[in-house]
Structure 1
Amino acid sequence: MRVLIIGVGTRGDVAPYTGLGARLREAGHEVTIAAHEPYAELVTDADLKYLPLPGDPLTALTGRLSISAFKQYSEHLTEGLAGLAGQDADLLLLGVAGALGCHLAEAMGVPSMGVHLQPIDPTGDFPPVTSLFHGSLGRWGNRRAARLAFELPAAGPLISGLGTRMRARLGLPPMSPRAVYRRRESTRWPVFHGISPLVLPRPADWRPGLEITGYWWPPRPRDWQPDPVLLGFLASGPPPVFVGFGSLAETRAEQYTELAVQALRRAGLRGVLQTGVRGQLSDDVLAVGEVPHDWLFPRLAAVAHHCGAGTTGIGVRAGVPAVAVPVMNDQPFWASRLTALGVAPAAIPFRRLTPVRLAAALTAAVTDPVHRQRARSLAAGISAEDGAAPVVEAVNRLQVTRAG
């Protein structure tokens, strides 16, 4: 089948889809990923076809866009997605941020499936993970809040304001957000979640068709080799800890780097930083650029990160303790899961991060044997999972059905 994955988002959103796409390609399918241009190389390095989407959401997420500029970005994204209607595809796979693709699939006359990195469907187990609610609203309240996020005309996972423009652009009849949601539920639209069930058990009150399969691991960049400086640093002393803040690091690199260096000094730990600068900062601190986390993390004593979905997955796969420093969106949810699983001490919201707090958390992660034991046990279970297999099987079944 010709499979088109809509990979709207930043690097952490696109990377898991390259892993899923590679598995689909190995199964004989022709896979294309539509993503923003800064992440084109992630796709092509995985030997997948690439289609560009306009804009870069990173500037919006880091607060560097005005409201008018964000509106412009959204309109460009809508146009870019609508422009994919002319592509040859038999199936669309849609992430949470690519939910507008449901209208695109309708216009193209092809089926679609969800491939989500966040659990947005209503459940009593937790409130909406991408909302401002980080505490339980009670089982009824949790479910109601999540459903409203789909149905309200001004917001939600279906980006309904953009959906109205999208449908008009594609020549489709108007449809309210509530009607879109009801169609989604009445057809039991399939959604596969690239999350380990050991990290997030499937909610018992989810409807059929919503599955948690296991992580989708991105392939390493083609011909990648570790920098000799990094190899030398790792070999020059006890395992260091990692400190990185994801895409946010680029906005205030010097400030975040200094905070991390002070914390390492207080804790008496060696460190590898991914905070937006590069170079040997001292005998005990090395700042690096892009390094595959699946290679780096298992070589460390602990990893402190922003708890993006992808980084969280690679962190628990590595079998080392974590320090959760969530910033926004779904990150507080993943931070709470790391703490609940016992692989991390209490999370530190990024707005409250100080050298003292980070040093204390790093010390706890490194010295508490419980965190390390639970991290190793969790990693052993995750290593036995094949998160891509259920998606590949579903696509194969669809191919047989359509052929018949």
Structure 2
Amino acid sequence: MRVLISTYGTRGDVQPFIALAKALKAHGHAVALCTPTGFRATVERHGVPYAHMDNAVLELTEAVLRAPTRAEQRRLFKGFGAIVRAGLEDEWRAAQELEPDVLVYHSKALGSHHIAEKLGAAELLAMPLPLTPTREFPVPMLPAFRLGGWLNALSYKLIPLANAVWAGATNDFRVKSLGLAPLSRFADPLKKVDGSAVPALYGFSEQLLPRPADWPPHVQVTGCWFLDEADSWTPPAELRAFLEAGPPPVYVGFGSMGGAHADARAATVLKAVALTGERAVVATGWGGLKADALPRHVFRLDAAPHDWLFPRMSAVVHHGGAGSTMAGLRAGKPTVICPFLGDQPFWGHVVLRAGVGPRPVPQKSLTAERLAEAIRAAHSPSVRALAEAMGERIRAEDGAARAVQLIEQEHSRWSHRRHAAT
């Protein structure tokens, strides 16, 4: 089986797919991962064959996330069209080189769905968050979590509307590069041209978000695709000394989010930590926190593998990306989510509903007092017990192996249909 995996975005959009590619390779399959060149070294360090995608996609994503104003974000966003179109060509070149029988892709990799049609190959949407309609919760990009059954299901109509933004680029790609007929601007990306559904694999844990009862059989939740890096990472001596000098600290980091207002945000975090009396590790990430002069009870860290760092923390505070959320809970740690945008408020509500963290504290209303209150709530015995129990259950899963099994089954069905047609 030859599998082309395509994804782009921030680190959290890429790491799970490296783990999935490693699992496929370990099972004897030929695999390549098409993602921006900024991640090439990481991909190849894990022994996964790399397929080129221009780094402009990643660079513009970073620029948009760091933009100080919404107006600046909108200005930068206007450049996405040409970059998306170039990325479609990168996906196509990768497919021509590998000649895959299966394409596995994040929804941001807009070319793979159309390339699968061109090649007559099997395809699977692969995501760390759910996009299949259900009455149980709304589409994760909506800030509201409780709309009611029929409104929850209706909210998923936003997906074709969002894809309509790129319809010009994808139709140009279909016609000029693939020789396919154009699609309706509002074509459902979860459907093939024959009307059948695209199979979906969701790489999150049912321990946190149970699979909805109204999902069809072609939609499966596999468990998380964790990329373990602890064994190959050497922590700075200063970090080890800090951890050994006192009780487990609180982790605070906002990953790739919020380069704007980083100084003010760091001041808020430091004041909140002081109010709780906790020790803390503050991760600067892409610039979401900018902290220079720190008190002795706070350690500044550029970055560290979550699977090494989080088990050594007492609680984790972050933006609420799917990867960070699952990594914190895998470590059995109470989770405080301070969401910026996208699916982050969704995971904040899911964590609250599961009892493994307090109510999320949105960035727009983040104050030292509110964050301190949330950190105190996260340390309550009931929340800690639930988080520890969930961590044990998540650690018992092997999401990547389950995903490989389902990809193999889809390939087998595709092969059978192909042979039957001939």
TM-score (norm 1): 0.92
Q: Are 2:66 and 2:258, in contact at CA under 8 Å, matched by a contact in 1?
A: no
Change (3 A) 1:269 1:102: same
Find the counterpart in structure 2 of residue 88 from structure 1. 98
Confirm or deny that 1:308 pairs with 2:321.
yes
Change (3 A) 1:249 1:66: closer
Find the counterpart in structure 2 of residue 394 from structure 1. 406
Residue 159 of structure 1 deviates from its aligned partner by 4.5
Q: Are 2:88 and 2:110, in contact at CA under 8 Å, matched by a contact in 1?
A: no
Find the counterpart in structure 1 of residue 144 from structure 2. 134
Equivalent positions of 1:358-369 (< 5 A) are: 358-366=371-379, 368-369=380-381
Equivalent positions of 1:268-347 (< 5 A) are: 268-275=277-284, 276=287, 277=290, 281-347=294-360
Q: Deviations over 1:106-125 (max 9, x none)?
A: 23332211111110111111
Confirm or deny that 1:229 pairs with 2:238.
yes
Find the counterpart in structure 2 of residue 3 from structure 1. 3
Change (3 A) 1:260 1:179: closer
Corresponding residue SS for 2:317: strand
Letter in 1 for 2:311: P
Change (3 A) 1:287 1:109: same
Q: Distance in 2 between matches of 1:186 and 1:391?
A: 24
Mean alpha-carbon deviation: is it higher for 168-177 or for 326-335? 168-177
Residue 144 of structure 1 deviates from its aligned partner by 1.6
Equivalent positions of 1:203-218 (< 5 A) are: 203-218=212-227
* Unmatched tracts of structure 1, length 5 or more: none
Corresponding residue SS for 1:243: strand
1:60 pairs with 59, 64, 75, which one? 64
Change (3 A) 1:225 1:265: same
Corresponding residue SS for 1:266: helix
Confirm or deny that 1:355 pairs with 2:359.
no
Mean alpha-carbon deviation: is it higher for 274-283 or for 53-62? 274-283
Change (3 A) 1:68 1:364: closer
Confirm or deny that 1:31 pairs with 2:41.
no
Residue 206 of structure 1 deviates from its aligned partner by 1.2
Corresponding residue SS for 1:246: coil
Confirm or deny that 1:51 pairs with 2:51.
yes
Change (3 A) 1:379 1:142: same
Q: Are 2:255 and 2:318, in contact at CA under 8 Å, matched by a contact in 1?
A: yes
Q: Distance in 1 between matches of 2:136 and 2:411?
A: 35
TM-score (norm 2): 0.88
Find the counterpart in structure 1 of residue 208 from structure 2. 199
Confirm or deny that 1:76 pairs with 2:83.
yes
Find the counterpart in structure 2 of residue 144 from structure 1. 154
Q: Distance in 2 between matches of 1:344 and 1:116?
A: 23
Residue 375 of structure 1 deviates from its aligned partner by 0.3
Residue 6 of structure 1 deviates from its aligned partner by 0.8
1:243 pairs with 219, 227, 252, which one? 252
Residue 129 of structure 1 deviates from its aligned partner by 0.7
Q: Deviations over 1:280-321 (max 9, x none)?
A: 822101010120011111111111111100000101101011
Corresponding residue SS for 1:314: helix
Corresponding residue SS for 1:388: helix
Q: Are 2:122 and 2:411, in contact at CA under 8 Å, matched by a contact in 1?
A: no
Letter in 2 for 1:98: A
Q: Are 2:81 and 2:169, in contact at CA under 8 Å, matched by a contact in 1?
A: yes
Letter in 1 for 2:51: L
Letter in 2 for 1:365: A
Q: Are 1:278 and 1:289, in contact at CA under 8 Å, matched by a contact in 2?
A: no
Q: Distance in 2 between matches of 1:308 and 1:156?
A: 21
Q: Are 1:18 and 1:219, in contact at CA under 8 Å, matched by a contact in 2?
A: no
Q: Are 1:216 and 1:388, in contact at CA under 8 Å, matched by a contact in 2?
A: yes
Q: Distance in 2 between matches of 1:341 and 1:180?
A: 31
Change (3 A) 1:182 1:188: closer
Change (3 A) 1:249 1:180: closer
Change (3 A) 1:39 1:365: same
Q: Distance in 1 between matches of 2:259 and 2:331?
A: 25
Corresponding residue SS for 1:168: helix
Q: Distance in 1 between matches of 2:237 and 2:200?
A: 42
Mean alpha-carbon deviation: is it higher for 307-316 or for 53-62? 53-62
Residue 185 of structure 1 deviates from its aligned partner by 8.8
Q: Distance in 1 between matches of 2:176 and 2:291?
A: 45
Percent identity of equivalent pairs:
34
Q: Deviations over 1:237-264 (max 9, x none)?
A: 1111011111125444333222211111
Residue 384 of structure 1 deviates from its aligned partner by 1.1
Residue 31 of structure 1 deviates from its aligned partner by 1.9
Residue 98 of structure 1 deviates from its aligned partner by 1.9
Letter in 1 for 2:119: M
Residue 27 of structure 1 deviates from its aligned partner by 0.5
Q: Distance in 1 between matches of 2:357 and 2:42?
A: 30
1:102 pairs with 103, 113, 120, which one? 113
Residue 25 of structure 1 deviates from its aligned partner by 0.8
Change (3 A) 1:352 1:342: same
Corresponding residue SS for 1:114: strand
